[in-house]
Amino acid sequence: MAFQILLNALLAFTWMFMNDTYRAADFVSGFALGMIAIFMLRRFFPQRFYGYALYAIFKLIIIFIRELLLANLSVLKTVLSPKLTIKPGIFAFRTDLKTDWEITILSNMITLTPGTLVIDISDDRSILYIHAMDIEDAEKAIHDIRVSFEKAIQEVSGK
Amino acid sequence: MIVIAKAIVIFLILLGAILCLISAIGVLRLPDVYTRMHAASKASTLGVVLILVGVFFHEWFLAGIISAKILLGIVFIFLTAPVGAHLIGRAAYNTGVKLDKRSVQDDYGGFRNFVIKRKEDSYL
């Protein structure tokens, strides 16, 4: 992906040199034309076209903001309810993600989502130990994490 | 236009301040370290970010300055707040802070005892 972006920037500079104009607007138009060229030549690259990854990152950010707002609503509800009826607990979550940066992003996002806080990651990086504010929601939380975050992160890394 | 801009700024900053207050109440009310970290890490993160966004819009709409420093601050808070919460929770567990008596499940305890036992075995 990084290689394709670098190539696209190089094509934009080539466009600027060919036009003999050196403004930001020419760089942008050259970048757009280079993107079209790279999209048409996408079968020659070992990875997929990088636009898909950019779109996946954008989607990840949208999911993240939505979950952050929901998290705050749930904390607000717990804190301001007259009686504390929570059942906290720690549950184990087996993740399919492999590389370090994927697990880092997943645990960061889990920490900022409704009622969950990552306590530890096992040494072989396959199990996340998550403290839940309400353990009865844990099954639902596991399902949500799997469906929304893990899938979104896997889409970014293109698997 | 100025009125709408001011209304947006007031709404954002007030909401952020209220969220910070709720997070402080949560730290007082909740029973143990881990549930307190929930309140401290989530509500105050969004509260501070909303205040920063409000200040950003204030500078932009009313003074015409686009301050990239505020945007950088938002990104840094999003990156560092969950890591801090994770490390405090982990350090608390590993120094032996008990879960609250309401807790119903502890998958991590067995894992930790297993690791400690394995380490003791390897020292022998």
Which pLDDT score, from 0 to 100, does residue A134 have? 77
Nearest Cβ partner for B38 among A68, A122, A133 = A133
B1: exposed, middle or buried (Cβ count in 10 Å: 0-12, 13-18, 19+): exposed
Which whole number is the average pLDDT over B99-123?
60
Nearest-CA distance B112 → chain A (Å): 10
Which pLDDT score, from 0 to 100, does residue A121 have? 84
Confidence of residue B113 (pLDDT cuts 50, 70, 90): low
Let me know: does B115 contact A99? Beta carbons within 8 Å. no
Nearest Cβ partner for A79 among B39, B102, B107 = B39
Enumerate residue ranges in chain A where pLDDT < 70: 137-139, 141, 159
What is the rounded distance in angstroms from the CA atom of residue B110 to the CA atom of residue B124?
21
What is the rounded distance in angstroms from the CA atom of residue A3 to the CA atom of residue B53?
34
- Comparing CA positions, the residue from A7, A36, A33 lying closest to residue A18 is A33
How confident is the model over B54-91, as pLDDT tens digits? 999 998 888 888 888 999 999 898 888 888 888 988 88
Nearest-CA distance B42 → chain A (Å): 6
Whether the pTM exceeds 0.90: the reply is no
Which pLDDT score, from 0 to 100, does residue B124 have? 37
User: Could you tell me the CA-to-CA distances from B31 to A3, A146, B34, B79 in Å, in that order?
Assistant: 51, 29, 9, 27
Which whole number is the average pLDDT over B20-32?
88
Nearest Cβ partner for B102 among A76, A86, A109 = A86
Which pLDDT score, from 0 to 100, does residue B122 have? 46
Which residues on adjacent β-strands are paired with residue B105?
A89
Nearest-CA distance B3 → chain A (Å): 26
Give the range among A89-93, B35-39, B82-86, B103-107 with minimum mean pLDDT.
B103-107
Average pLDDT, chain B: 82
Would the pLDDT of B35 be above 70? yes
Confidence of residue B123 (pLDDT cuts 50, 70, 90): very low
Partner A contacted by B110 (CB < 8 A) = no
What is the rounded distance in angstroms from the CA atom of residue A121 to the CA atom of residue A104?
10
Which chain A residue shows the shortest CA-CA distance from B16?
A: A72
% chain B with pLDDT above 90: 27
Nearest Cβ partner for B43 among A76, A120, A131 = A76
Which pLDDT score, from 0 to 100, does residue A32 have? 93
Query: Which candidate in A117, A130, A149 is best for mutational testing of the B interface (most B CBs within 10 A)?
Result: A117
